[in-house]
Structures are given as C-alpha cells and as structure tokens.
Structure 1
C-alpha cells in the first residue's frame, strides 16, 4: 500500500474544515499522511484543526504555517514540497471526498502505472441542495497514453482542469519541476496546462470521489478585477508556450486560446457588466494573443464554429463589444 499525501489548504474555512477532515479520516485506504497548510487564516480554523489532531492521535497529520498570507498557489507548492508519499492528492478545505476515494484512485494508478488519475467530481450547491455535474470527465477511454495525444485531448476538454480530485505521482511532479505560479487566483487553469505538456499516461475513474461544495464565498461566484487580471497573466503564459513549441502544438494552443478568451469575456461580463470600459480594455488586450491565420480559415483543422468564434474575438473593439453584448444577452 503506497503512501498517499493529502494536501489541504487552510484559509477562512472554519465552517467546513471539520467535515473535510472527517472525510479523510473515514477513508477505507489507511496509508495516508495529511498535510494542512495554514495560509495565515484569521478565523478559528486552526483551533478546530488542533482539536481534531488531539482527538485523532493515530492519524499522520502535519500542520504547517505560513507567516503571512501568500495565496493558494504558494500553499499548493508548500504542500507538494512537504509531501513524502508516492502519490499526492489535493483536497480543498470546503470540499470533501467519498469514503473509498483514495482506495479506488490508488488501485487504478497502480494498475495503469499513470502520472495522474482523475476522479469524477459532483458539485453540491448550498443554495438549493442540488447536486450538479459541473466538471465532467468526457474521456471516451479508461486511460490515455502518449504525450502528443494526451495534450490534444486536454485541449479538447476531455477532463476538468481543477487541481483537486486528481492523484498525482509525486516523482513525476518533481522530475518535471511542476509548480503553481505564485500570485494567481485562477491557478488551476495554468497548472492543468503545464501538466498536460508533460503527462505520458493518464487514467480516468468515472465514479464520484469528490464533492465540490458551492457556497456564497466560492471563487466561482466571486470573480473580481483581480481574477480577470490573472486571466490576462495566464494568456501571457499560453503565449510563451506557443512561442516555444512545435507547429502542431501551436495549432492546438490556438484552439485553447479561443475557448479561454471567450470564457474570460463571458465571466467578466457576468461579474462586472457595469464596467464596460474595463471589458473593452481586456477585449483589446486579448486580441494580442495568437489567433487563426488566413490559411487556418481554409484548413479543416479548425471547425466552422471555432473559425466563427475566433472572428468575433478579433474585431475592432467597439464592434466586438456590441456584437458580444447582443450575442450574450440573446443566449442568456
């Protein structure tokens, strides 16, 4: 039974952390180390954790402390650096996992000899109590092998980008020097992209192992200007990768950029529709990223839908805004 390091960030989670820890305690797989990283949380989370530790002396728990709040990317890196398991599993403190989560993921990882195993995630909406499949696995096979094919399927959206609910081979992370980029709030997007550049084998467990708890403080509901500045930074990293890779991957990154830019503009409009000048500013900034060339429009490599969406993303800014607003308000 290989050791699994479960990494849990701690910041303003006093209402959820006990449920999270109890779900780890109840795992059918017992060879675990629990690494909690306190990112200078101002609430009572640490008191709750310390009480849990004292009541469960048989559990292998590390509680690490940051002297100042450093953000989730730095917390994730601290967790990775302090992990000693064969595998690393990331679990957010407001979420929880099924009792057999780790057992089933490890079984598949060992059987397939993978870099990553992805579990199915269900979202529990606190507003209405409904369960929703917001981040589905779309892979048609149980496992993918070969980095070129895996990167292509990543761009196609065959699995969710969220960092949690994946079992990572720690040696693979270290060998490829994979790190979360400090300062990013939307760190999962870039982490998933960098991972996809390096994965040689990935497997999928199409059983629910993770419950993503949607509540009023969830990031998905609280996008601000900081988040959208982060999205611009992520695009800069995509551009860097585009400039350094081969022609085939350049085409795939163009596809990624079409979807990412479109999603960014839609989320910004939903969250900050009163700030039209800022929306226009970001539309203009996003146009600087690689886009489809004239020859791409005559190529079968891109779908008609991708060609149309690329066009809408690269119009003169005022025209782009008017068409976006018309299309968005018709759709939603």
Structure 2
C-alpha cells in the first residue's frame, strides 16, 4: 500500500508564484499526498489564494497563522502532518512531476530514513541543464554529511528531500534565524541510519531579486557563520575525519558574510569587516589549497590579501 507523504508549503506574500508551485505538487505521479499550505500571516492575497486552491483538490489543507517566519511555518506544518513521511517545498519554487515518486522509490529500495535529489538553480526563468550521468548512492550518516557539506552534488537545503517524520521528534527548525536549513540538516543526517541520494535534478530553486542573496546587509547574516560553527562542533565530536570539510564551510561562511557586507554600499561596519578578513587571513593556507574553492574565488582571495577595495571591485564584477 502506498504510504502517504505530507508536503509542507510555507506561504508568505507569494501570490504570483503560489499557483505554479501548488500545481506542480497536485500533478505529481505519486498521488497519495497530503498538501499542507501554511499561510504565515501573508499581507497580500496569498491567504485567500490558498483557500481557493484547496477547493481544486481535496488533498490540500490550509493552515492560517500569524507571521512567524519560514522556520515557524515549517514547524507548524510538521505538527499538522498526519503522515510518517514529509517533504518541504518553498512556495516560490516548483518540482518535476515525478520528484516524490523518485524520492520514495529510492527510500524504499534502500530502507533509508532520508531521500535526497538534486536541484536546478533557476535565474530569470532559465534553469540549469540536467546532469548527464544520473547516479544514486546509499550512504551512512558520515558519507551523507560529507556530501552536503561539500555541496558539489547536494547541499544542506531542506526542500529537495523526503524525510521520515520521526527524524523531527526532537528537532525543530530554529525560529528567527536565516540559514535555517544549515542549522538543522547535519543534526537530521546524524540521526539517520541510511541516507539515499541521487544527483538527478527534480526541484526548481527559483532565485528572486529580493531573495536573501541580494538583501541589504544586516547582522542576521552572521547566522550563517553561527550555523556552520555549530556544524563544525558536531563534526569534530562525532565525525572527526570530516574536519577538513567542516573548516571549508567555516571559511565559506566568512566569505559569504564579508561579501554581503562589502556589496552593500549603504552599510558600514569596519570592526566586523576587519574581524571577517582577519579570520580568512588566518586560514590562508587552507583556502589556497582547498579544491572546493574555485579558481575565481582564490584569485579574489589573493586580491583581498593585497587590498580590500580591489577585492570589492572583483566581487561586484563576479557577482559573488
């Protein structure tokens, strides 16, 4: 008998994207779904649209709540879910019609606790190409953590995955944080016995102009460093052979925050800027030797060692 999957969709002010997202779930080849739309206090017509969409398909259930952010909406969805299997989709994204069929088939075949697939990055309605060689791996927690921390094939994103709900029995998404996926994913993988992963892309991750990557700088970006510091501590304690990739992510997180800070011409915090640059300089050898950093990133880093204004010009041109 087909197990039901609860698909949780947090909804906040996405009236122009929501129908495309929900249609891609309704049209899944895997039909035994519960679709939970969590309207997180939208101030546009998204809440009303959720109710209208629920009339189209009996599998859709709408939860209206006060605004609490993405993590809070996901946590409410988990509490509402009646199924033993759950997935998350962001309401401005969409999925291939066979994504959940692929994820659950892989989950069953390997008796895994968590099933992952690749995603397309979509810019200006244009998506990347599918992988040329499709592969599937059955992984232990250490191998899965290494894969998502390296982020060459799969990453810490919560959305392109299928989970046994029991993984969340003691874990919740952290409220009030950005990088909420990075805060929870390593902990989830650590609780698994088997993780199954395919590089086949089935999820369309839409990059919007007002997304986090193009926001004005705020100190909330420091959450990214906090998340990977937390992950590094878990890894050093539980999986010490992965210390190298844990440090890579720490270096990457410092680059990420520094770049956001330098790209915002209206924000200035010289003390934070100096602190971030000092950290990166202290890990110069790691960065230069690290195969996970691109040649362009390393050239930029050498420029940073020489002159931060030169580095700023490079990241503006490259769009890091």
Distance 1:284 1:111, change over 3 A: same
1:21 corresponds to: 22
Q: Distance in 2 between matches of 1:92 and 1:280?
A: 35
2:181 corresponds to: 188
Q: Distance in 2 between matches of 1:42 and 1:187?
A: 23
Q: Distance in 2 between matches of 1:213 and 1:173?
A: 26
* Match runs of 1:152-191 below 5 Å: 152-157=146-151, 158-174=153-169, 177-191=170-184
Q: Deviations over 1:222-256 (max 9, x none)?
A: 25315423334325534653675564344442232
Q: Distance in 2 between matches of 1:48 and 1:288?
A: 47
Which has the higher mean CA deviation after the structures are superposed, 84-93 or 3-12? 84-93
Q: Distance in 2 between matches of 1:99 and 1:118?
A: 16
Instruction: Tell me, yes or no, if structure 1 residue 142 matches structure 2 residue 136.
Output: yes
Q: Distance in 1 between matches of 2:148 and 2:247?
A: 13
TM-score by length of 1: 0.78
Q: Deviations over 1:48-103 (max 9, x none)?
A: 121222233xx22322222x311111111111222222321111111112222211
- Give the gaps of 5 or more residues in structure 2: none
Q: Counterpart of 1:264 in 2: which secondary structure?
A: helix
* Match runs of 1:57-72 below 5 Å: 59-66=58-65, 68-72=66-70
- Give the gaps of 5 or more residues in structure 1: none
Distance 1:139 1:117, change over 3 A: farther
2:126 corresponds to: 130
TM-score by length of 2: 0.81
Which of 110, 115, 118 is 1:117 aligned to?
A: 115
Residues 71, 174 of structure 2: 8 Å contact kept: yes
Offset of residue 106 of structure 1: 1.1
Distance 1:41 1:194, change over 3 A: same
May I ask how many residue pairs the two structures share in their alignment?
A: 313
1:254 corresponds to: 247
2:102 corresponds to: 104
Offset of residue 280 of structure 1: 4.7
Cα RMSD, aligned residues only = 3.7
Q: Distance in 1 between matches of 2:82 and 2:227?
A: 30
Q: Counterpart of 1:192 in 2: which secondary structure?
A: helix
Q: Distance in 1 between matches of 2:259 and 2:163?
A: 32
